[in-house]
Structure 1
Amino acid sequence: MTAVSNLQLKTSPWQTIVLLTLSLWLGASLILDWVIMPSLYVSGMMTQAGFTSAGYLIFWNFNRIELVAAAVVLTGVLALNKTAFVSNSWRRGAVILSGMMLAVALTNAYFLTPQMCATGVQLNLFEAVEVPSTMNNLHVAYWLLEAIKLAIGGTLLGWCFRQQA
């Protein structure tokens, strides 16, 4: 007597990987942007001479983690496109959105963070520490990219969750 099982996998492991990576990445971004950096700013660390070095160290590490997360998300979306687990309408949009998230991570890692560090470094120990005016433009660019990243990541997370359900 043989029994035939009709049990099939309903989700791909790549969907779980993309969901988990996006959730951790966006959660870490929110903690960094809304908890860590404001607390450093309120505590007065931004007016101290070592703030640029500390900020660069924090963002250098976080940017590298973001690059890995963006690569995992893009890889997962591309792998999902080769399976039958996702709908055709999802495929092109998800690849574009995950590519945009990688572009944001690359811009943060290789343009904004080094530029902010170079702008904020104190080269003369005898001058008072003040925030350069160009730093405000860089902060606006950073917050704009963060808003774009969170909006795109939230959209992609919603799409992945709906595909899994």
Structure 2
Amino acid sequence: MDIVSSAKRNPSRWSVVVFVTLCFWLSASTVLDFVIIPSLMQAGMMSEPGFISAGYSMFGLFNHIELLCAGIILSGFLILKRNHLLPQEQEQWVMIFATFLLVIALTCNYFLTPQLSAFGIDLNWFETNTIMSVEMVQFHLSYWLLELMKFIIGGLLLVWSFQAWQPERTD
């Protein structure tokens, strides 16, 4: 609670919190999307019968971490805005983009992950269909579109949070 109570004394601390949280979130998303998932695909794990439940658990956990990160980022930018540490012309855009990051995390957590897991469950054990359905392909495309928007918006907010973080000068 020290960070919350000292927001008036040292508000630049929140820009550091936002910056570090954005760095963690974007780097974790990069590792998940471009290292872990392709490795699992290459190893053939996606065709294993238990992969759907394992994937749901993995993405479910990561989605909850994303929600936590989005909440911290939005809270941090609200404090920075309240203390007028953001340029006037950026304040509105920062709030819109930080809220949009939260919406992306909510969408992935409560809509995309359950739907993709539901499409992956094989209810007919006698049929050996290895082709993805059209609906599943559309959900994968929407997931990658949201990921792309998350990286673009997150990168922009990362730059703005770094600009808001200026060590106090003793001139």
Aligned length in residues: 157
Structure 1 residues without counterparts, runs of 5 or longer: 1-8
Structure 2 residues without counterparts, runs of 5 or longer: 1-8, 167-171
* Partner-residue secondary structure (3-state), 1:92: helix
- Paired residue type of 1:107: T
Say if 2:149 is the partner of 1:148.
Answer: yes
Identity %: 44
Q: Which structure 1 residue ranges, 4+ long, deviate > 3 Å from structure 2?
A: none
* Partner-residue secondary structure (3-state), 2:86: coil
- Paired residue type of 1:121: I
1:159: Cα distance to partner?
Answer: 1.0
- Return 131-140 or 16-25, whichever deviates more: 131-140
Question: Contact between 2:74 and 2:98, CA under 8 Å: does it hold in 1?
Answer: yes
Distance 1:115 1:124 in 2: 18
**2:87 — aligned with what?**
87
**2:162 — aligned with what?**
161
Distance 2:165 2:12 in 1: 8
1:129: Cα distance to partner?
Answer: 4.9
1:86: Cα distance to partner?
Answer: 2.2
Distance 2:60 2:28 in 1: 14
Relative to structure 1, is the Cα distance of residues 46 and 38 closer, same or farther in structure 2, using a 3 angstrom cutoff? same
**2:17 — aligned with what?**
17
Q: Computing the radius of gyration over CA atoms, which structure comes out larger, 1 or 2?
A: 1
Distance 1:73 1:129 in 2: 42
TM-score (norm 1): 0.90
Say if 2:138 is the partner of 1:137.
Answer: yes
* Partner-residue secondary structure (3-state), 2:84: coil
**1:68 — aligned with what?**
68
Structure 2 counterparts to residues 24-103 of structure 1, below 5 A:
24-103=24-103
Distance 1:86 1:136 in 2: 40
- Return 135-144 or 85-94, whichever deviates more: 85-94
**2:5 — aligned with what?**
none
1:10: Cα distance to partner?
Answer: 7.9
What RMSD, in angstroms, separates the aligned Cα atoms of the two structures?
A: 1.5
**2:116 — aligned with what?**
116
* Partner-residue secondary structure (3-state), 1:58: helix
